[in-house]
């Protein structure tokens, strides 16, 4: 077997299961989970209908590139949402079965392991797929701490020049998981300038881009920064988007990668061998989802309600702030984050994710230590009840 498989760490939820197994939850309370970023709002009925109405298309093999109608719908959405000057759906968009598989696969295709010391730069804390993608592609992950002092964003000015020289792929997550921090177009432009100087690819994971608080400006995107610079070839830039969070469709496994056609052409070849074509009923349902914004606005409103209510309950007793976007909160804990999560489960039957489980210790610093991730994915009343229990737990310490 590939020896690099031994470098993969247990997934955070495996660690969490072991942590919880050491205690018994309060039997008087129903369990509430705020640990997994799985949307619980109803999926749009018109998407369900499109899936059902086209179920006979399961009898046909899909192509890896997907239907032109889907790429066109994605291209039109990108143009509207990020104010693009142009995008060619035929060469600059590839549908994918959720962004997890595309993010992982892209690293396998992008990293040139024949070069000495290839680095894949990742935010820390991070979505664990970035780390696994690095190891299995033959690269070494280089973690960039996202601390409160820098607005929970990497300090790109602090990265040594040799690291930039060895960097082949930079993963950006904006809005961030778990911090919710977002990059501005100016910050994206700075990364583009660094990419030009050191010749690395920027891969921007923007899966939470549509989940921002009512009344706030929509988060910027990497392709938007390219458009403002007049870089309409999106040189060395790709973005990943998904219907999972935007449209409450995690089980549809539908997303896309878009950007530099020079990069996507060999990536499409890789995917042809990878065997990851999206089924035609899913493609047709995805077209319906990308063409509609009303359900997305309604979705944002629900999350805004939850943020407001939960913060009103928890801010008097915890160091917790509204995140820029996403459906996460990233509060400090008054005791060690793993102990906090374990005892909260035992006493209040609420599950949260320890921040140290989604971070790595580098130079003695783990950016997730002393924090937990709260995923406000449940219905409003359930999130409010969870917040009340967390407050009661904190007050009991």
DSSP state of 324: S
Can you give the pLDDT at residue 196?
Answer: 98
Name the phi and psi angles at 269, rounded to 5: -60, -45
- Domains annotated for the chain, with CATH where assigned, are 3-42+295-396 (3.90.1150.10), 60-291 (3.40.640.10)
Give me the helices (H) in 111-250, please: 129-137, 161-166, 185-198, 222-229, 243-246
| Prediction pTM value | 0.96
Can you give the pLDDT at residue 212?
Answer: 95
Can you give the pLDDT at residue 214?
Answer: 84
Residue closest to 118 by CA, chosen among 212, 198, 58, 61:
198
CB neighbours of 3 closer than 8 A, spacing ≥ 6?
none
What is the rounded distance in angstroms from the CA atom of residue 139 to the CA atom of residue 167? 9
Per residue, what are the HEC states of 349-379? CEECEEHHHHCCCECCECCCCCEEEEECCCC
For residue 333, the number of C-alpha atoms closer than 13 Å in the C-beta half-sphere is: 25
Can you give the pLDDT at residue 153?
Answer: 97
Can you give the pLDDT at residue 215?
Answer: 83
Residue closest to 92 by CA, chosen among 120, 82, 170, 250:
82
Q: What is the pLDDT along the chain (397 residues), one digit of tens a residue?
A: 999 999 998 889 999 999 999 999 999 999 999 999 889 899 999 999 999 999 999 999 999 999 999 999 999 999 999 999 999 999 999 999 999 999 999 999 999 999 999 999 999 999 999 999 999 999 999 999 999 999 999 999 999 999 999 999 999 999 999 999 999 999 999 999 999 999 999 999 999 999 998 888 999 999 999 999 999 999 999 999 999 999 999 999 999 999 999 999 999 999 999 889 999 999 999 999 999 999 999 999 999 999 999 999 999 999 999 999 999 999 999 999 999 999 999 999 999 999 999 999 999 999 999 999 999 999 999 999 999 999 999 999 9
Would you say 57 and 281 are in contact if contact means Cβ atoms under 8 Å apart? Answer: yes
């Amino acid at each position: 077997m590939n020896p690099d498989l031994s470098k993969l760490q247990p997934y955070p939820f495996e660690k969490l299961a072991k942590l919880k197994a050491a205690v018994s939850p309060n039997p008087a309370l129903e369990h509430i989970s705020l640990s997994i970023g799985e949307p619980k709002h109803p999926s749009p009925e018109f998407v369900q209908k499109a899936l059902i109405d086209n179920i006979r298309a399961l009898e046909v093999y899909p192509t890896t590139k997907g239907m032109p109608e889907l790429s066109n719908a994605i291209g039109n959405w990108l143009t509207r949402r990020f104010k693009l000057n142009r995008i060619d759906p035929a060469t600059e968009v590839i549908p994918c079965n959720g962004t997890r598989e595309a993010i992982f696969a892209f690293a396998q295709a992008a990293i040139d392991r024949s070069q000495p010391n290839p680095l894949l730069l990742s935010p820390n804390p991070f979505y664990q797929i970035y780390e696994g993608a690095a190891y299995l592609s033959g690269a070494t992950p280089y973690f960039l701490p996202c601390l409160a002092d820098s607005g929970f964003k990497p300090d790109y000015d602090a990265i040594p020049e040799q690291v930039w020289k060895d960097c082949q792929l930079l993963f950006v997550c904006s809005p961030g998981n778990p911090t919710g921090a977002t990059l501005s177009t100016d910050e994206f432009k700075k990364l583009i300038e660094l990419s030009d100087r050191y010749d690395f690819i920027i891969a921007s994971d923007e899966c939470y881009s549509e989940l921002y608080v009512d009344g706030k400006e929509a988060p910027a995107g990497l392709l938007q920064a390219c458009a403002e610079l007049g870089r309409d070839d999106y040189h060395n830039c790709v973005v990943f988007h998904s219907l999972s969070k935007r449209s409450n469709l995690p089980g549809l496994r539908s997303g896309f990668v878009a950007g530099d056609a020079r990069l996507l052409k060999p990536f499409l070849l890789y995917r042809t061998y990878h065997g990851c074509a999206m089924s035609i009923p899913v493609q047709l349902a995805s077209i319906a989802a990308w063409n509609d914004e009303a359900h997305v606005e309604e979705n944002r409103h629900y999350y805004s309600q939850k943020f407001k209510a939960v913060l009103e309950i928890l801010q008097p007793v915890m160091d917790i702030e509204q995140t820029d976007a996403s459906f996460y909160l990233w509060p400090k804990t008054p005791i060690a984050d793993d102990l906090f999560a374990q005892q909260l489960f035992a006493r209040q039957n609420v599950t949260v994710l320890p921040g140290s489980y989604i971070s790595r210790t580098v130079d003695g610093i783990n950016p997730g230590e002393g924090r937990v991730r709260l995923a406000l994915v449940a219905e409003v009343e359930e999130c409010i009840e969870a917040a009340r229990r967390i407050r009661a737990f904190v007050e009991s310490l």
